[in-house]
Amino acid sequence: MRKNTIKLKMTMLERRNKEITDLKRRIANMVVVGKISHVDHKNARYRVKTGGLISDWIPDTQARAGKTRSYEGRDVGEQVVVVSSSGDLSQGVIVGSIHTDVNQVADKGNIHKTLYPDGTSLEYDDEQNTYALNIKSGGKFILTISDGVSLKGDRGKLELSAPDGIKIISERDLNLKAKGNISIKAEGNISLNSQKDVSLHSSNNEVSIHSRKLKHNGTNVGATHVHGGVYPGGSMTGGPN
């Protein structure tokens, strides 16, 4: 009888030790740090390696996931934090990523920056009040808005510059309006082509053209043009030649 009692107590003790060991394991697995080993961007699921274990496919948290949705995919090798409410990694959720010495983005607290694998960066400096988008060579910036685009600055200038030129295409009217002067300067030629009429209007009743020659349909009509067969008197001259 006594042997049976001792054996029963030992069995109960072993069972309790196993339960305690399992409980410790679960507590230890409630929050773990690991690295992404596999990715499934289509289903937004990942597998995480921690120690010698690889989790099942688990989701990650995003900034928004309702009517307003966002998605930032994670990369293989990215260091992440996994939270499992029951300590079971198969029920875990990736709640965030941890920067490493290799993958630091910014070295100042005032810099809010996103850096992409091709070197493209999106950065805001809240000390300099500067927002910068830098796209590496070969990339494009595409902005599509169904009801139009409005660019407005309260102060200063709006400047567009490009080494290979700027092209503006309008399917309808193109209007330029300024409270001050409008100046067009070119180191090369300036060409104006219209399928219909071209009109120049000045409220001061004066249009000035400064050039060595002025041609109309190939004929010089500028200050240097001359007329042949002209005699002093009240007769009108012929057309320019």
Residues 193-235 have pLDDT tens digits of 888 898 888 887 788 888 878 888 878 777 776 666 666 666 6
Q: DSSP string covering 31-77, please?
A: EEEEEEEEEETTTTEEEEEETTEE---B-B--S-BSSSB------TT
Predicted TM-score (pTM) of the model is: 0.61
Q: What are residue 67's DSSP bridge partners?
A: none
**Domain boundaries 29-97, CATH class:** mainly beta
pLDDT at 75 over 80: yes
Q: What residue spans define the domains of the chain?
A: 29-97, 105-140
Q: pLDDT at residue 102 above 80?
A: no
The better pLDDT of the pair 9, 34 is held by 34
Q: How far is CA 137 from CA 13, 103, 144, 181, in A?
A: 68, 22, 21, 35
**109 pLDDT higher than 90:** no
Average pLDDT over residues 143-158: 81
- Three-class secondary structure of residue 115 per DSSP: strand
